[in-house]
């Protein structure tokens, strides 16, 4: 849980276990189907993974923070399309895959699972509002944690929000295609 002066992702394993137990208990009391229980398990696992990937590890040790502050290489981006254009113009394939591909895929599972599990998220608008809110919260938390520890440990980037939401739109599109196929099969 504490590695080299950092709070790492392992703490989320404990949180994940607590969440899975709470969700399972709730679903058992409601006599939920196996399929719904499986999708809730996937959503719980996804949310913990999302937090792990976007916010952890968080440095906290004074000596480590001092070293990081003197060697700061990350900067926040508040201008739309700046990072995207820089990565496309100067980034190698690895940077392109991590920066653009990772952000594109980040919220896809959310926009696939929410409409499956909850009727109120079966509209494009409601799903994209949630995806936008989640992306904004992630970037705000990265900015807030950076402010608290005194250096940019994760860069807050408006382009991440744009790419996350675009990926969420694609994820919702995949959901609608899958839902139509399943609905067609069910009506035959």
CA 132 – CA 161 distance, rounded (Å): 7
pLDDT at 182: 83
pLDDT at 184: 77
CA 19 – CA 41 distance, rounded (Å): 9
pLDDT at 47: 93
pLDDT at 73: 66
Give 6's strand partners: 3, 59
Q: Are 150 and 62 in contact (CB under 8 A)?
A: no
CA 135 – CA 129 distance, rounded (Å): 10
| Cα-only R_g, the chain | 19
pLDDT at 33: 85
Tens-binned pLDDT, residue by residue, of the chain (188 aa): 545 555 667 777 888 888 888 888 877 888 888 888 889 889 999 998 999 899 988 877 777 666 666 666 678 999 999 999 998 888 788 888 888 999 999 999 999 999 999 999 999 999 999 999 999 999 999 999 999 988 888 899 999 999 999 999 999 999 999 999 987 776 55
Q: Name the DSSP class of 4.
A: T
pLDDT at 67: 67
Residue 98 falls in which region: left (phi positive, over 0), alpha (psi -120 to 50) or beta: alpha
Residue 57 preceded by cis peptide, ω within 30: yes
């Amino acid at each position: 849980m504490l590695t080299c002066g950092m709070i790492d992702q392992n703490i989320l394993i404990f949180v994940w276990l607590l969440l899975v137990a709470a969700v399972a208990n709730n679903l058992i009391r409601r006599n939920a189907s196996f399929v719904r229980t499986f999708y809730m398990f996937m959503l719980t696992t996804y949310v913990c993974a999302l937090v792990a990937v976007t916010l952890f590890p968080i440095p906290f040790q004074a000596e480590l923070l001092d070293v990081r502050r003197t060697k700061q290489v990350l900067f926040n981006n508040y201008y739309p399309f700046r990072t995207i254009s820089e990565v496309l113009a100067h980034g190698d394939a690895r940077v392109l895959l991590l920066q653009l591909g990772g952000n594109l895929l980040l919220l896809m599972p959310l926009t696939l699972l929410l409409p499956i599990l909850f009727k109120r998220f079966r509209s494009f608008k409601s799903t994209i509002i949630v995806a936008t809110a989640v992306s904004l919260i992630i970037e705000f938390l990265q900015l807030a944690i950076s402010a608290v520890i005194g250096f940019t440990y994760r860069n807050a980037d408006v382009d991440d929000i744009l790419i996350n939401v675009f990926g969420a739109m694609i994820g919702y599109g995949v959901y609608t295609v899958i839902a139509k196929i399943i609905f067609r099969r069910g009506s035959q």
